[in-house]
Structure 1
Amino acid sequence: MTAQSLPPAHRQLSLPADEQLHTVNARVVVARVAQIRAGLRAEAVAFARAEARRLSEELTGTAGVYVYEETFGTKDRLHFLIHLESLGSHYELVRRADESKQGQGPDEWNRLFTPGSVQETVLMPQFWGMYGTKVDGRLEKQSALYRGTGAAALPPAREQTSLPPDSILHSGNAGIVMLRRGQMASEFRSEARQFGRVVAESINKNLPGECSVFVYEEAFGQADQLHWLIHLKDIDTYMRLMELHVRDEEVREIYFRDWIPAEKGGGTWAGLFLDGTMSDVALTPLH
């Protein structure tokens, strides 16, 4: 089976694709990872798929779940991307767990997965001015959260790009989803966020329909940790991404630009993140 023939994650569900929540239209993404116990792979995979379908169908429009495996990395480690309409949607997931039938709830998680391996990271789509950071005094005032007058709501990641929907890849239609994270230096937390967004949009505009990148902030975890979700059409697109960074002079200039202001000592993007904190993991939809 070739990379191109692997079914995308939206096919894990029976819902129409346009009714599913994913990384671009959700307002919160919970990344859950769990290591399957030795000898229980078949049962764990069946359970994971069934749970994803059950929750997505019972909570359509409120929550949606896709399941992935690591493309390269630790075998039998499952990744769940849980897409929520809001932070408050978490309570619906808790209620469903409390009301789960035999073979669906916490007892099955305990039986099928290695103790201590189930971990979650809460990701919120980044918007200008988030967490008290500065851009240029103008962009911060253009976010829906700033301009809104009612109850505060997180803007979905689709607001980070000007591309039309049919040119955007997300967790539901991508062949590979890469999770990249990096710890920002506190002194340059505003500059690091600007860099993260500019790099993401440069890829979106140069590889429409092939690679879409969106930026997220970690909540309830490590402060000032930036996350990129990089959605690839297929594994071969990784080479297109490398080619872009070698051959396109405008994209290359982003990496050699002085992102650190002169009054702070100057420097390229390399000084914006702590050494050794940038890491990637590639995920393939479970099939």
Structure 2
Amino acid sequence: MNKLEAFGHIAALAIRGDLVFPTSVNAALRVQMALDDPDCPIDTAISLVLSEPLLAAKTVAISNSAMFNRSGAPVVTNVRGAIMRIGYQNLYALAAAMVVRQFGSRISDPKLRQKAERLWDHTIAVAALGRLIARHVTGVNADTALFAGIVHEVGNFYLLSRADEFPGLLEEDTENWHAASEEIITREVMRKLCIPEPVAEAIEGLRDSFMSIPPDTLLDTLLLANHLTPVRSPLQEPQRELPPHTDSAIDLFIDAEKLASMLEEARRDAADMSAVLLV
């Protein structure tokens, strides 16, 4: 089965809803679905997190990381305090990150596992930088930007998780490449994972959209984070050039000193997240 056939087969399965997820994904999905309600009682959120010991441990750990405790506040030692510190949106993002990581757990081929690890590094780098870009440049919700960054490669993680079964999936096959199949797969995976529509639309827009000047949307935030991060995706096609005016225009809203500061802060935040989420 060549690449085109593999993509077509998986896309057909995706359209029918026959997506194959690791069983461990379901627990995190239950937490996500509950937290999708902003009125979810805190005691319910605590119970859900405590029912998943791994998620509980990671929630407390990330609440004590520099990313969420830059002021040197006392160490949090329980789930209630952790949720109060990081908030529902970031807990939702943490559950999503666990889902993304679990896709890599089913990969047996060493080369594919290495690609999944490099894709994870890229994902966390974009998420951390996107959060800062949202805060300092585009003005979109920083927690939403963090979540969008964490899930923006979820379609590729899913494809990597199926590559053991379809050896032709990652072959070089530029003549028969059909981007529509990849888009269908990504869309259906996001639907299965209950990714909110505004986030899903921004992720789908990454393939064909250009950043507006000045950047002021979630899509712009993701485009800019992908463009500026030094951690490239191992599955990325040669980096598409932004419009000729964009690089010079970036200087209008991010000067060199500010960009260097953001990249360093994003690097530290990504390291914190990776350390907490490593499984």
TM-score by length of 1: 0.26
Whose helix fraction is larger, Structure 1's or Structure 2's?
Answer: 2
TM-score by length of 2: 0.26
Greater relative contact order: 1 or 2 (C-alpha under 8 angstroms, separation 6 or more)? 2
Whose strand fraction is larger, Structure 1's or Structure 2's?
Answer: 1
